[in-house]
Each structure stands twice: as C-alpha cells, then as structure tokens.
C-alpha cells in the first residue's frame, strides 16, 4: 500500500508542529525580602490562594507554579509585628515559555504605634489631640493610640487641637514630640486640670 504524499506530510510535519505550538510552560514566582525585623514573619500570597510565610531576609519562591500566559499577583497577606511591608514588581503575566519570575521585591520598614495616656478629664468632657493633621478625640482618662502605625524614624508632634480643648480645663502635654522607635512606647502624657 502506497502512502499519499500529502497525508504523509501532514502526519509527519504538520501534526508535530501543532502539538509544539499548543505547549505552554510553567514558571515559579519569587523574589527577595529585605528589612524584615529579626524574629518576625511576613505572609505573602500569590493569586489569592498560594500563601508563603517568610521568616528571614533573602530570596523566596512560592511552591505552586503558574502556567505560561497566565497572570501572577503577589501581595502581603499578613504584616509582620513591628513592621510594614510593601511589594514591588508583584504582578504580571508569565511568558509562554514559562520563564521563572525572580524579581518580586518585598521591602519592610519597622513601625510602631503612637500612644500615650490622658488624665484629668471630667465626665462629659473631651480633648482632641493632633499629630501631622490626624485628629484623635479622647473622651475618657486612660490610654490612647493614634490610628495606624508610623515608620520607625518618623518624627511626631502631638498637640491639643485649638478647637478641641475641653471646656473649663487646660491640657498640657509631656513627651509630645520625638521620633518613633520600634518596640519603644512613645509615652505621650496629656494632663488636664
């Protein structure tokens, strides 16, 4: 039985080319973490499902691969204690060959809360504190904390907002200005009398 030349050509040349054209590689996604405080861990996430806990500065790679021509999106799922981490080069599309991604950069900076205490407020009175344009009304004696965290090394200057002094009282601030230090309470003291 003699083979038809066109059938032979299709079976031996075209079909393998079609199979090769349909092949798509897979790639790992990774990069480096820097600035992570000693003893702290950051949880990274890729594409909303692949979680990775990183406990030291240096390189990292997610365990799950990503198919070629599919996207990846790395984010911080859980911030480390005493630091805030951000992601650069965290999203993109894997090429068809499945070239590994190694340039995701996670940079962490140490941070702390701006806290203190208020005393001397009378029932029904409140004092409004201000720091860098953030207003914090305080209506009870005791501990207070400004919302969020501040990067270590950032200057703070807590004052009584001019429109937020309690009626009939004068409030004085001790340790109201300084620089945020990670792990060290700011100890701002507000005394009203």
* Domain boundary assignment for the chain: 11-110, 113-192
Domain range 11-110, CATH architecture: Sandwich (2.60)
State the pTM of this model.
0.63
Does pLDDT of 73 surpass 60?
A: yes
Name the band, by pLDDT with cuts 50, 70 and 90, for residue 27. very high
Of 100, 92, 106, 109, which is closest to residue 44 (Cα–Cα)? 106
- Predicted pLDDT at 52: 99
Q: Which of 13-17, 42-46, 137-141, 189-193 has the least mean pLDDT?
A: 13-17
Kindly report the length of the chain: 193
Question: If you average pLDDT over every residue of the chain, what do you get?
Answer: 89
Distance in angstroms (rounded) separating the CA atoms of residues 64 and 165? 56
For the chain, the 3-state helix, strand and coil shares in percent, each to the nearest 5, are: 10, 45, 45
| Mean local confidence (pLDDT), 111-127 | 93
Give the model's pLDDT for residue 24: 76
Rounded to an integer, the average pLDDT of 34-41 is: 94
């Amino acid at each position: 039985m003699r083979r038809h030349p066109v059938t032979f050509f299709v079976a031996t040349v075209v079909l393998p080319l079609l199979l090769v054209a349909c092949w798509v590689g897979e790639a790992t996604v990774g990069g480096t973490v820097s600035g992570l405080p000693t003893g702290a861990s950051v949880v990274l996430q890729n594409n909303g499902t692949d979680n990775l806990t990183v406990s030291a500065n240096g390189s990292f790679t997610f365990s799950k691969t990503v198919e070629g021509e599919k996207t990846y999106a790395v984010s911080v799922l859980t911030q480390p204690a005493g630091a805030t981490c951000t992601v650069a080069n965290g999203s993109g599309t894997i090429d068809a060959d499945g070239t590994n991604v190694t340039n995701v950069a996670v940079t962490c900076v140490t941070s702390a809360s701006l806290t203190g205490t208020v005393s001397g407020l009378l029932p029904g009175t409140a004092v409004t504190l201000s720091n860098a344009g953030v207003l914090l009304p305080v209506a009870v004696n005791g501990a207070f904390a400004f919302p969020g965290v501040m990067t270590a090394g950032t200057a703070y200057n807590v004052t009584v907002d001019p429109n937020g002094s309690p009626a009939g009282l004068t409030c004085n601030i001790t340790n109201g200005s300084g620089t945020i230090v990670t792990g060290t309470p700011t100890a701002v003291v507000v005394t009203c009398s």
